[in-house]
Structure formats: structure tokens, C-alpha cells
Chain A
Amino acid sequence: MTIEVRQFRTGDVPAIERLNGRLAAAGLPHRVGHEDPRRSDEPRLDREPIIERLFVAAAGDEIRGGVWLKEQLSWSEGRPVRVGWAKYPVAESLIDAKAAGVPASLLFGLLRQQPHLMALGMGGHAGPFAKLLAAARWASSSLPFFFCLLHPSRVLRHLSYARTTRLQRLLADSLAYSGLAWAVARRTERLVPARRGTARLAARAPRH
């Protein structure tokens, strides 16, 4: 399997769907998305505040993984700096040992595109992506993270993590459609001051 990490091409969509099919067949909920195939121009930061591009690990006609690179302008020492963060990495290594090198290749491929790279919100320090970054010697720290649910029923209907089992989906839909979620959220907001949770920030460490 010869792997090439490159930017998404319109013709990749069928191969991405095949990858998603293999992941689904193995019972995994992870999916690689794709850019809008109708979009012909490159996203530009002078037109949009945040741009995103998909990078894929291609092996011939097949796609073995993908990761989104989101970018925006930040400020450093009074100058605008383009920074990026890695989102939704998915690789076939989850189901095929022969693809064990794909996540590392995607990660280093993103670094080649955007050296000012970070990642945020990876499900905690023990998550697979967080562990991969730690193995690559990224510095990481926990950050205060505050949630304010403006539309709790929408969150319950669309947040996949809250809908992983049939019972959870039933409960989430009940709360969402009955209006109970909204009532609970409003009441909690009044009674409980913003609570500190933790998210995870991983910033790239110097390589050597």
C-alpha cells in the first residue's frame, strides 16, 4: 500500500464513501467527510474568517484516512499570523493494521501545510488522537471550557456522543421534543454558575 498525503480532490468522494463503508462494516461510528465537490475556488482567509481544507491519505484509488485543517488569522507580536488546527482525524488503521502509518503521515502532512498547528477538544487526555499527539511530542494542557446551551433540543437531536445507544437516543429525543431539555437548561443556567470543565489543547512542540 503506497500512501500519499494530499489535499482532497473532487474525485475522491467515492473512495471516501468506500472507506466510510469499511469503517461502518466494522461497527465504528467514525467517518471521513469531504469538501463540497461543487466548490471550485480555494478557500481564502481574506474572504472568510475561518477556512477548512480536507487532507486525505490516498493509496491508489482508495482513501485510507483523512483530517481537516482549519485555519484562521491570529495575532503574534502585533502581526497577523495564519494558524491552524487539526480536526476529525480518521484513519483506516482503526480496522487494518497495514494502515498503522497513516495517522502519523496525516499528522506530519498537516504540519508541512501549516507549521503553526494545534488541536483542541479531543475527548480528554486518554483519547486516541491526544495520545498520538503526545507520542509525537506535542505539548498539551487542559483548558477551562465553558458550555452555554442556547438550543438544547437541537444539541440532543444532533450530538452523536449523546446518541450512541438506542436508550440514549430515546432519552435524548424525549428530552428534546418534550421541551424538558430547554427547561432544564434554563433552570440549570440560573442555579449553577458556569462550571469549569476541561478540554485539551495540544500545541506542537519543537521537534528536537
Chain B
Amino acid sequence: MSVDRRLQAIFEAVFGPEVSQLSAQDSPATIRSWDSLNHVHLILALEAEFGVQFDTDEIANLISVGAIQRRLTGGSSASGQGASGISPARAAS
């Protein structure tokens, strides 16, 4: 399954049917239920689905679908922080 389709499934699971058609511009500004609590759900779901662990600083910066797509497909997140590709596990994990 493509990254986009897997992302779509995760977003629907976390945020509900409100996100039936994701776009790269979607963010907490366009998805009302994307609050700090659901951001934790989203990060953990992404980590489980894609087998990655995001750096601490990345977590706060993955706040748009586009940033998440770029991060998961090997680019950096919107912040421009962190190495491209899959990062090593968080130190505390």
C-alpha cells in the first residue's frame, strides 16, 4: 500500500471521517480534532505503522500532512530539522 493510502487510513482512525480526503495542506487549522491529545495518538500510530521513531523536536513540527509525507518518504519535515530518512530510536525508548 502506498504511503498516502496508509496515511489516509491512520488519519481516519485518529481523527474520524472528517478527513475522508487528505491533502498536503491539512493541518490543525483545517482538521478541528487535530489537538495536542490527538497529536500524540497520531505520532504513536505513525510510528507503529511505519516502524519509525521520530526525534523529539520533529514531533512538534509534524503538524501538516505534507510535513508528515515528506518525513516518511525520506525528506525532512517542515522544520527542516533532523536527518532525512528514518531516524534512530529516541534515546529514552
Cα distance A75–B46 in the bound complex, in angstroms: 36
Contact call B60/A5, Cβ cutoff below 8 A: yes
Interface residues of A in 106-132 (CB under 8 A from B): 107-109, 111-115, 128, 131-132
B81 within 8 A of A: yes
> Interface on A for B, CB 8 Å cutoff?
1-5, 57, 64, 91, 93, 97-105, 107-109, 111-115, 128, 131-132, 135-137, 207-208
Residues of A near B2 (CB, < 8 A) are none
Contact call B60/A104, Cβ cutoff below 8 A: yes
Q: B79 is contacted by which of A2, A108, A131 (Cβ under 8 Å)?
A: A2
Residues of A near B41 (CB, < 8 A) are 135
Cα distance A3–B90 in the bound complex, in angstroms: 17
Contact call B34/A97, Cβ cutoff below 8 A: yes
* Contacts A2-B80, A111-B90 supplied; 5 other A-B pairs, CB < 8 Å: A2-B61, A93-B36, A100-B35, A108-B56, A135-B37
Name which of B60, B63, B80, B92 has the most chain A CB atoms within 10 A of its CB: B60
How near does chain B come to A200, taking the closest CB pair, in angstroms? 16
How near does chain B come to A172, taking the closest CB pair, in angstroms? 32
Contact-residue size bin, chain B (C-beta under 8 Å from the other chain): 20 to 34
B19 within 8 A of A: no
B16 within 8 A of A: no
Residues of A near B27 (CB, < 8 A) are 97-98
Residues of B near A104 (CB, < 8 A) are 36, 39-40, 43, 59-60
**In the complex, per-residue mask of B39-62: 1 if CB is within 8 Å of any chain A CB, else 0:** 111011000100000001101111
Cα distance A100–B57 in the bound complex, in angstroms: 13
B3 within 8 A of A: no
Q: A108 is contacted by which of B34, B38, B90 (Cβ under 8 Å)?
A: B90
Contact call B37/A111, Cβ cutoff below 8 A: no
Contact call A207/B59, Cβ cutoff below 8 A: no
How near does chain A come to B76, taking the closest CB pair, in angstroms? 11
Cα distance A9–B15 in the bound complex, in angstroms: 37
**3 tightest Cβ-Cβ pairs between the two chains A and B:** A3-B60, A105-B60, A97-B28
Q: A101 is contacted by which of B44, B61, B93 (Cβ under 8 Å)?
A: B61
